[in-house]
Structure 1
Amino acid sequence: MATLQQVAFRAGCSLATASRVLNRKGPASDLMVRKVRRAAAELGYRPAGLAVGRLGRRPVVGVLIPSITNPVFASSLSSIQNRMLVAGHGVLIAQSNYDPAREADAVAALLNDRPTGLILTVCDPSTSEALLAKLPPTVLLHNLPTAQFQAAVTVDNRGAGREIATFLIGMGHRRILFLSGNFAASDRARLRYLGYLDAMAEPG
């Protein structure tokens, strides 16, 4: 079990600063908050007081999504909450706003509340720092599974991109423009683009 001293050393701050950040008591810069939370997540540190505070309360599951305003993720979140209600679990929600750096901080914040499990939609599981922390049982949502996180609920985004482009080609179109956001912020968009390229490269 990691100690507060180890967290402070890893974050490069004093013991008092690490304590203020993790217990959410007292001032600390945004940069230091990110450093301490990330250090705690990487070391698997949990404030002892949180365990006492959870006694007698129902377990919770942490959920990370890119944006609650996106109807796809809002629908997923609604289904998760309904299922967790039946199972007797609460739900903690965090948003990354499609920002890989903010994503790691959001997961670190979720871990401070000692969730029994996590459901995560990350920007890209192959590069996400959020997945480097010591995590409880975790399911990826809208991401492809990885060697470490094999439990995943997703769709074939590459196949979808290829199918749409193939349909347009079949309608006689040849100059087809692909519009997307930043690939670093969404592996789903990158996979759809690869599917588009697959279709455009096919003979005929």
Structure 2
Amino acid sequence: MTTLTGEEMTEAAAQTPLGSSLRIANGFIATSLDDASGIETTIEAHYREVKGRYVPSVIVNRGVSDDFDEEKLRHTSTQGVLQAAVPHCIAVRLAEEPEAKWATVSDLTADDNRILPPWLVAAVVKHGVKDERWDVIEILYGAAALAGRPPVKLITAELAVPERTASDWIKKARKAGRLAGMTSTIGRPAHELSASA
């Protein structure tokens, strides 16, 4: 996983402000090897403000084993590579002090693929905790939307709340100006699409 210029992707590469408290890399190059099929997939993706997400601009699939699956080579999906790469491209700062360190969303992700630690989840779902909740919604929404995943499903899974609650929190976070530059139309009713673009 590298920047567009070939350096290792770290929180330092995420310099473009997004939303109210995120920074993202302008783009990335990610490579994944599927041992079962013998296929290596490399994608180059760029953040497109008009779409509110990363958009692949180059996709290269290569058979790298002697017995690679020719059929899968023709139909390899890049979505998995994109979803795995995006958390490395988003930087957040969980404390407000000026000397607080930035970390990538990938750095926060635990072995069980959960982004948020249990103590933060418990704090966020409490009634009356607004600023922290919007911070978390912004992080989760960004991680999902930038990768072309349904944000409601990620928020529901991470915070163990109903989809209706996750949708409501997304609307409120957007109204509070927390989701600027990020848009997702995945998994949303048509009547909501024009209101959030």
TM-score normalised by L of structure 2: 0.26
Higher helix share: 1
Structure number with bigger Rg = 1
Higher strand share: 2
TM-score normalised by L of structure 1: 0.25
